[in-house]
Amino acid sequence: MKKILSTQSNLNVMLIFSAVVLSAPLWLTPIGANYPDLLQKFAIFGVFAIGFNILFGLTGYLSFGHAAFLGIGSYSAVWSFKLLTMNVVPAIIFGVVLSGLFAAVIGFISLRRSGIYFSILTLAFAQMSYNLAYSVLTPITNGETGLQLTLHDPRVLDAAAAEQSGIPSTTLFGLSMSGYSGFYFCASILILAFFVSLKIFRSPFGVKLLAIKSNQTRMKYTGFNTRPYLLTAFIISGMYAGLAGTLMAVTDPLAGAERMQWTASGEVVLMTILGGTGTLIGPLLGVGIIKYFENIFSALNEQTLYVVFDFLPEFLQSFLVLITHPFVGEGWHLTLGALFMIVVIFLPGGVMEGINRLSGFVKRKYFSDDSGADSKAESRLQTSDAGGE
Amino acid sequence: MESNSVLTIEDVNKTFGGLRALSDINLDIEEGKTHAIIGPNGAGKSTLLNVCIGRLAPDTGSVTFNGKNMVGLQPHEINHAGMVRVFQTPEIFPDLTLLQNVMIPALAKRDGMFCFNVFKDMRNQTDIRDEADHALEDVGLIKFRNNKADTISRGDKRRLELAMGLIQHPKLLLLDEPTAGMSRHDTNRTIELLQKIKERGMTKVIIEHDMHVVFSLADRISVLAQGEIIASGAPDEIRGNPIVKEAYLGGEEL
Confidence of residue A74 (pLDDT cuts 50, 70, 90): very high
Confidence of residue B3 (pLDDT cuts 50, 70, 90): low
Q: For a pLDDT cut of 90, what percent of chain A falls above it?
A: 55
From B53's Cα to the closest Cα of chain A, the distance in A is 8
Cα A259 to Cα A68: distance, rounded to the nearest angstrom: 8
pLDDT at A318: 82
Ranking A112-116, A243-247, B186-190 by mean pLDDT, the lowest is B186-190
pLDDT at A143: 83
pLDDT of A370 > 60? The answer is: no
pLDDT at B241: 81
Helical (H) or strand (E) element with B174: strand B172-176
Residue A233 included in any domain: yes
pLDDT at A162: 52
Q: Is A3 on the interface with B (CB under 8 A)?
A: no
pLDDT at B247: 67
At B97, phi and psi to the nearest 5?
-75, 165
Q: Mind listing the pLDDT tens digit for each residue in B98-111?
A: 999 999 999 998 88
SS3 call for B67: coil
**pLDDT averaged over chain B?**
86
Nearest Cα residue in chain A from B148: A381
Q: Is A77 on the interface with B (CB under 8 A)?
A: no
Average pLDDT for residues B157-165, to the nearest whole number?
A: 90
Q: Mind listing the pLDDT tens digit for each residue in A249-306?
A: 999 888 988 889 899 999 999 999 999 999 999 999 999 999 998 888 888 777 777 7
pLDDT of B194 > 80? The answer is: yes
Cα B218 to Cα B204: distance, rounded to the nearest angstrom: 9
Using CB atoms and an 8 Å cut-off, which of residues 6-25 of chain A contact chain B?
A: 10
From B220's Cα to the closest Cα of chain A, the distance in A is 26
Residue A6 included in any domain: yes
Ranking A232-236, A301-305, B55-59 by mean pLDDT, the lowest is A301-305
pLDDT of A149 > 90? The answer is: no
β pairing state of B203-207 and B34-38: parallel
At B90, phi and psi to the nearest 5?
-55, 120
Cα B197 to Cα A255: distance, rounded to the nearest angstrom: 64
Average pLDDT for residues B125-148, to the nearest whole number?
A: 91
Domain layout of chain B by residue ranges: 1-82+170-254, 92-168
pLDDT of A387 > 50? The answer is: no
- Contact yes or no for A205 and B116 at CB 8 A: yes
Nearest to A204 among B122, B146, B147 (CB): B122
pLDDT at A98: 96
B contacts of A203 (beta carbons < 8 Å): 117-122
B contacts of A214 (beta carbons < 8 Å): 93-96
Residue A205 included in any domain: yes
Q: How far is CA A372 from the centre of its chain?
A: 35
From A28's Cα to the closest Cα of chain B, the distance in A is 34
- Contact yes or no for A221 and B91 at CB 8 A: yes
Cα B152 to Cα B93: distance, rounded to the nearest angstrom: 12
Cα A358 to Cα B38: distance, rounded to the nearest angstrom: 54
Closest CA to A97 of A78, A61, A69: A69
Using CB atoms and an 8 Å cut-off, which of residues 329-388 of chain A contact chain B?
A: 377, 380-381, 383-384, 386-388
pLDDT at B2: 46
At A37, phi and psi to the nearest 5?
-55, -50
Average pLDDT for residues B246-252, to the nearest whole number?
A: 59
Count of CA atoms in the C-beta half-sphere (13 A) of A178: 6
Residue A319 included in any domain: no
- Contact yes or no for B93 and A215 at CB 8 A: yes
Contacts of A87 (CB under 8 A, 6+ apart): A157, A170, A171, A172, A173
pLDDT of A334 > 90? The answer is: no
Residue A129 included in any domain: yes
Q: How far is CA A190 from the centre of its chain?
A: 10
B contacts of A10 (beta carbons < 8 Å): 121
pLDDT of A4 > 60? The answer is: no
Contacts 24+ apart (CB under 8 A), A167-176: A168/A86, A169/A86, A169/A253, A170/A81, A170/A86, A170/A87, A170/A88, A170/A91, A170/A249, A170/A250, A170/A251, A170/A253, A171/A86, A171/A87, A171/A88, A172/A87, A172/A88, A172/A89, A173/A87, A173/A89
Torsion of CA A306, A308, A310, A314, to 10 degrees: -50
pLDDT of A388 > 80? The answer is: no
Nearest to B100 among A203, A207, A226 (CB): A207
pLDDT at A33: 81
B contacts of A388 (beta carbons < 8 Å): 96-97, 99-100, 103, 122-123, 129, 132, 146
Torsion of CA A221, A222, A224, A230, to 10 degrees: -80
Contacts of B79 (CB under 8 A, 6+ apart): A221, A222, A223, B108, B168
Q: Is A220 on the interface with B (CB under 8 A)?
A: yes
Cα B217 to Cα B205: distance, rounded to the nearest angstrom: 10
Average pLDDT for residues B228-240, to the nearest whole number?
A: 86
Confidence of residue B41 (pLDDT cuts 50, 70, 90): confident
Confidence of residue A372 (pLDDT cuts 50, 70, 90): very low
Q: Is the pTM of this model over 0.90?
A: no
Residue A270 included in any domain: no
Cα B135 to Cα A160: distance, rounded to the nearest angstrom: 67
Q: Range of A211's domain?
A: 2-260
The answer to whether B26 and B51 have CB atoms below 8 angstroms apart is no
Tell me, what amino acid is at B145?
R
Residue A375 included in any domain: no
pLDDT of A374 > 50? The answer is: no
CB atoms within 10 A of CB B154: 11
Domains: count for chain A: 1
Average pLDDT for residues A166-183, to the nearest whole number?
A: 84
pLDDT at A301: 77
Q: How far is CA A236 from CA A52, A65, A200, B111, in A?
A: 9, 14, 10, 20
Nearest Cα residue in chain B from A220: B76
Confidence of residue B39 (pLDDT cuts 50, 70, 90): confident
Domain B1-82+170-254 classified CATH 3.40.50.300?
yes
Using CB atoms and an 8 Å cut-off, which of residues 311-330 of chain A contact chain B?
A: none
- Contact yes or no for A204 and B113 at CB 8 A: no
From B126's Cα to the closest Cα of chain A, the distance in A is 9
Q: What is the secondary structure of A179-238 as a DSSP string?
A: HHHHHHHHHHHHHHHHHHHHHHHHSHHHHHHHHHHH-HHHHHHTT--HHHHHHHHHHHHH
Q: How far is CA A355 from CA A130, A337, A350, A388, B167, in A?
A: 38, 20, 9, 23, 37
